[in-house]
Amino acid sequence: MAQRPTEFTLWLEEALTSWILPVALLAAVAVVAGLYLLGVATEEQTAALAVAAVALGSAFLVARPGLSRTGADRTLAVAAAAATALVVLLSALPTVYPGRPLFEGQLSAEGDQLPLPPGAAGRIRLLVVGHLRKEGQGTASYVLGGAARPVEGKLERLYRSVRVGRSGRARVEADHTADWYDATIPEGATALTLRRVTGEMGGPLQVYGHRPLLPYPWPWVLSGLTLALAALAEARLAKKNMVAVPSGMALAFGLLVTANATPYAAVGPVMGALALGAAGGSLAGWAAGAIARRLLAARAAR
């Protein structure tokens, strides 16, 4: 006698195939966006929720076409959905919400050193935050030594024109003073050193060292493999543009956030990644799906 599904199984399948999950995600994003605009939610918290919403929402879209199937087709769709969510979360979430650093400290003048704790050797992500002087051109650069390769960074004041009223324009400035850097700490290294600093630095550099969950280039490698898996699932399900496209959009979003966002400037890059990821990722997903369908059709014709 076949075993009857439990109430939880029935509820879960209904949530994944109906409006419940997407509406819940949109409601959560709307609440946190409102708290951010009111100054209650921080930059990190708002961006982290947006990343989580994209990861879970895309997993829902990727898995949904295969939930009505059984066997290998369903398994492929669910695996592609889980892989998409995991790659986005493991790469983008620590970028905007990194948590407690492995080490941290300040570097003010050339020759200053930041001691490294035991066990710091290996792949590391350095978050370097600085300040620019209010006056002057607003540019500065620095070089950190102690890693396998010198870490070269730049602080700069950016200007852009925005609309004011119906026909007016205004010049707005924004300081770009924080960046992530992928580095490798060699065995036996005891400190990071500020080798060179030039320009109009307005204060010490704050350096945070984090152990990456997905060191470079693994976000790119795993994104490519996940997109290939989603394309295969789409070809087997015969659901054109319904699996690989949402997966590609989410994966492109994750890569853009990882490359451009920091905890100090997170919401803007996340919103930009949503737009650019939707455009570039949908194209990549469409191409991957088309290739997978053609290969599967060629194999079936043999």
- Is 108 inside a domain boundary? yes
**Residues 225 and 90 reside in one and the same domain:** yes
**Which domain does 29 fall in, by range?**
16-98+216-301
Output the pLDDT for position 118. Answer: 92
169: domain CATH number is: 2.60.120
**Residues 87 and 224 reside in one and the same domain:** yes
**Residues 91 and 220 reside in one and the same domain:** yes
Output the pLDDT for position 2. Answer: 47
Spatial separation of the C-alpha atoms in residues 229 and 247, rounded to whole Å: 10
**Residues 204 and 236 reside in one and the same domain:** no
- Is 10 inside a domain boundary? no
**Residues 62 and 203 reside in one and the same domain:** no
- Is 3 inside a domain boundary? no
> Strand 113-115 to strand 205-210: parallel, antiparallel, or no bridges (unpaired)?
unpaired
What is the mean pLDDT of each successive set of 10 residues along the chain, which is 302 residues long? 54 56 66 76 89 91 84 90 96 95 95 95 96 85 95 88 65 83 95 93 94 94 96 89 91 96 92 91 93 86 73
- Is 286 inside a domain boundary? yes
**Residues 120 and 55 reside in one and the same domain:** no
- DSSP letter string, 254-273: HHHHHHH-BTTB-HHHHHHH
